[in-house]
């Protein structure tokens, strides 16, 4: 029965502002480093949502290079999702420990297909025992004239290669590449077997992207989504085998028996327990506490705040996002488990607010869906470019695999789903790098206003105030006709 006490007030981003604080800090001096999970730190605390119109390998790569993180969606077959993860892990590698290789009998046709499908143009040639025999590059053949020639007939033999011994440090390997002007450096053990390669391209990427999110092997980091479904363990194990750095146990109602039992199962399994597992979504203190008790390495917060989500109007359930974040922080207590604010963010200032009230990072959907790297379809309508964008609770997404997220896994008839999201389009915004630059710039500006050199000080100095509708109107451009759009403002 509902209590006779006064009904609790709940607030979202547009309901509050952060008053400025005495500052000796410039925006260029702040460090916005946050956390995604127990063991994953982000120099840019932004994560792309595991939605099928937001995150596949292109988005995950682009975000990781900028210092954020991408979570590959699960509306794919297990092998397809695992391959998306592999593409991220192989994009930038310090040591490529499982390089693509060919046998000496493989033809130029095989090499050409590898170049087209995977982008690799410098391929080691090995025998059945993985002993290095030579190296073939795109300069060693012409296609299609040489399509029937074997790798053995065109390769540069191992005796002509500069090699590194197994155990060589990455710094030393990079030094060899620079000194010898190499494109590829092969690493071999005492038996002459290939153990890894290092490429000049990756060295250049290391220099160009100093904030990149990487694991201890200098590979880009990435996450993969799983759900409470029959293929949970098979999918999770395949993603871990592909190299995922985290699993995101994703549900519209994370404070549920199914999620808690799945979380415990993943934390106990010998093949999945060593990677971080983020669980959600929740919106209450008890929800956060129960998931942490079950072993979650990160908590995803947000029930219905997304622009394409209709949960709150279809089901009548949810919590305004600022209050939901504060609830999760309360439920976390003194545990060092990151809180990810997922959904409802429309402007860079909303990121500042989410982190100020206790979030450790934010997850974005709509702000990234319009970028070049999102997998959504590009549309041209009346001379304006758009990208398709849909909620994972939309009818189309549920028909393609997300029905378990909304507790409808047992429904076989596609006409019987009860959607909790819509399908639409969003303005095309170009490369995601430009969007991230503006979002981080706004966050740093906010931190500068609050005299916060890092997120810990931001939370200490932030004293949010509730504002009225008039205050919200006053916060946006008003009494003027905008004649030229700013790159970081898209209206109310």
Decide: helix, strand or coil at residue 254: coil
CA distances from 442 to 119, 144, 301, 488 (A): 36, 51, 22, 8
Question: Which ranges in 18-150 belong to alpha helices (H)?
Answer: 57-66, 78-91, 108-118
Asked whether the beta carbons of 47 and 36 are under 8 A apart, the reply is yes
CATH code for the domain in which residue 391 is found? 3.20.20.70
Which pLDDT band, with edges at 50, 70 and 90, does 411 fall under?
Answer: low
Do 154 and 234 fall within a single domain?
no
Q: In total, how many domains does the chain have?
A: 2
Q: Is residue 8 part of a domain?
A: no
Distance in angstroms (rounded) separating the CA atoms of residues 264 and 359: 24
Nearest to 375 by CA among 408, 395, 351, 400: 400
Cis peptide before 336 (omega within 30 of 0): no
Q: Is residue 101 part of a domain?
A: no
- Percent above pLDDT 70 for the chain: 94
CATH code for the domain in which residue 115 is found? 3.10.580.10
Tell me the pLDDT tens digit for each residue of 378-405: 888 888 898 998 887 777 777 765 556 6
What pLDDT does residue 408 have? 67
Do 147 and 239 fall within a single domain?
no
Do 260 and 380 fall within a single domain?
yes
Nearest to 475 by CA among 356, 368, 347, 354: 347
Residues that are catalytic? 309, 405
Token duo for residue 283 = 């919106």
Structural domain of 127? 108-208
Distance in angstroms (rounded) separating the CA atoms of residues 230 and 232: 6
Token duo for residue 154 = 């065109």
User: Nearest 5°: phi and psi at 267?
Assistant: -75, -20
What pLDDT does residue 74 have? 96
Place of tokens 């200098």: 218
Do 114 and 194 fall within a single domain?
yes
Q: Is residue 153 part of a domain?
A: yes
Distance in angstroms (rounded) separating the CA atoms of residues 447 and 442: 9
CA distances from 485 to 345, 366, 443, 492 (A): 19, 18, 20, 13
Distance in angstroms (rounded) separating the CA atoms of residues 64 and 87: 13
Tell me the pLDDT tens digit for each residue of 170-195: 888 889 999 999 989 999 999 999 99
């Amino acid at each position: 029965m509902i209590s006779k006490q006064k009904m609790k007030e709940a607030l979202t981003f547009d309901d509050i502002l952060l008053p400025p604080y005495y500052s000796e800090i410039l925006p260029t001096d702040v460090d916005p480093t946050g956390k995604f999970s127990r063991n994953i730190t982000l120099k840019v605390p932004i994560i792309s949502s595991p939605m099928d119109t937001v995150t596949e390998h292109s988005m995950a790569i682009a975000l990781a290079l900028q210092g954020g993180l991408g979570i590959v969606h699960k509306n794919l077959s297990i092998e397809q999702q695992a391959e998306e993860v592999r593409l991220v892990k192989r994009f930038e590698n310090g040591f490529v420990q499982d390089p693509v290789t060919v046998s000496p009998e493989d033809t130029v046709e095989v090499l050409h297909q590898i170049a087209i499908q995977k982008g690799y143009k410098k391929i080691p040639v090995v025998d059945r025992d993985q002993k290095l025999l030579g190296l073939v590059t795109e300069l060693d053949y012409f296609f299609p004239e040489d399509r029937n020639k074997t790798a053995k007939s065109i390769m540069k033999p191992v005796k002509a290669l500069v090699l590194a011994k197994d155990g060589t440090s990455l710094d030393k390997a990079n030094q060899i590449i620079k000194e010898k002007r190499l494109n590829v450096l092969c690493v071999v053990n005492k038996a002459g077997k290939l153990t890894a390669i290092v490429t000049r391209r990756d060295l250049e990427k290391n220099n160009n992207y100093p904030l990149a999110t990487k694991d201890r092997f200098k590979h880009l980091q990435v996450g993969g989504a799983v759900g409470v479904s029959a293929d949970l363990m098979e999918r999770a194990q395949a993603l871990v085998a592909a190299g995922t750095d985290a699993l995101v146990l994703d549900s519209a109602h994370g404070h549920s028996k199914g999620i808690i039992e799945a979380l415990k199962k993943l934390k106990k399994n010998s093949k999945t327990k060593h990677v971080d597992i983020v669980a959600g979504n929740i919106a209450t203190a008890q929800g956060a506490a129960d998931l942490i008790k079950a072993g979650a390495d990160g908590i995803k917060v947000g029930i219905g705040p997304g622009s394409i989500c209709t949960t709150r109007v279809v089901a009548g359930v949810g919590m305004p996002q600022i209050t939901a974040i504060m609830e999760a922080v309360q439920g976390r207590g003194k545990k060092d488990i990151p809180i990810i604010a997922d959904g409802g963010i429309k402007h860079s200032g909303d990121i500042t607010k989410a982190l100020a009230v206790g979030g450790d990072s934010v997850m974005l959907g709509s702000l990234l869906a319009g970028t070049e790297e999102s997998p959504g379809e590009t549309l041209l309508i009346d001379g304006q470019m758009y990208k398709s964008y849909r909620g994972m609770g939309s009818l189309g997404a549920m028909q393609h695999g997300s029905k378990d997220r909304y507790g409808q896994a047992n429904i076989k008839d596609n006409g019987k789903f009860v959607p909790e999201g819509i399908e639409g389009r969003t303005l095309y915004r170009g490369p995601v790098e430009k969007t991230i630059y503006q979002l981080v710039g706004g966050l740093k500006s906010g931190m500068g206003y609050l005299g916060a050199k890092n997120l810990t000080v931001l939370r200490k100095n932030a004293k949010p105030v509730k504002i009225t509708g008039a205050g919200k109107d006053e916060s946006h451009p008003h009494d003027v006709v905008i004649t030229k759009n700013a790159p970081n403002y898209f209206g109310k």
